[in-house]
Amino acid sequence: MAGTTDLVRDRLRGGRVAAVAATALLALTACGSEDAPGELELQRGESGMMPAIEPPGPEGFENADVMGVRIDTPDEWDVQNDGSELCMTPPGQSSCAYGSIQLVPKQADKHPQSWPKKDESFNDDDGWADDTGSCRSLNTAASGNIGVADASLETGAGSVFEHADGRKSHYSIWSVTCDNDDTFEVRMWFLPESDVLLYVWSVDAQYSAVYDEIAESMDTTEYRNG
């Protein structure tokens, strides 16, 4: 009988050890699980969810806002924002001139000739500027005393470009030839109904992809809702 009693004790002792081990294993598994209640409780606040965090601009860019239009601006560029329009100028260039890109809400509304909305100038060969008389090539932009011989709309009428808010603008690219045979390029993104203009005064080819990134980031949601 003594041997039988000892055997029962051993079995009971072994069962308790196994139960303790199983409990410890479950606890370790719970600690390592992404769905562990303890971890979720740490991640959630008293309201049940973490507060929303405003996302930063993409690497190399900062967020900017003018009249409710949001856009990304390159870190190293000079940014001028007077509250009614914004201009981004690449390093080493004169403000709002060669290589610059401008964002102007209410562009046509503020312009004496309603450019570029009136008569859909954004679809015309000569719609690249309100004053098409001065060459804007790198060599002549500063002087302003060289005339323009010819201009052509390279994208064709009806070209569109989609922005961050899902809105599609009329997208126009012009090639302009000066009287001295210099050439330059002008780019325009225009939303006629919202009357928002994004405009590259004279393209600096090394920033061609940057212009597109800036244009893609434009969000007019708050502007339109305001």
Tell me the CB-side half-sphere exposure of residue 73, using CA atoms within 13 A: 24
Q: What percent of the chain has pLDDT over 70?
A: 74
Give mean pLDDT, residues 186-206: 97
**pLDDT band at residue 90, thresholds of 50, 70 and 90?**
very high
pLDDT of residue 58: 62
Which of 108-112, 124-128, 139-143 shows the lowest mean pLDDT across its residues?
139-143
Average pLDDT, the chain: 81
Give mean pLDDT, residues 202-224: 97
Provide the whole-model pTM.
Answer: 0.74
pLDDT of residue 57: 52
**pLDDT band at residue 17, thresholds of 50, 70 and 90?**
very low
pLDDT at residue 108 tops 90: yes
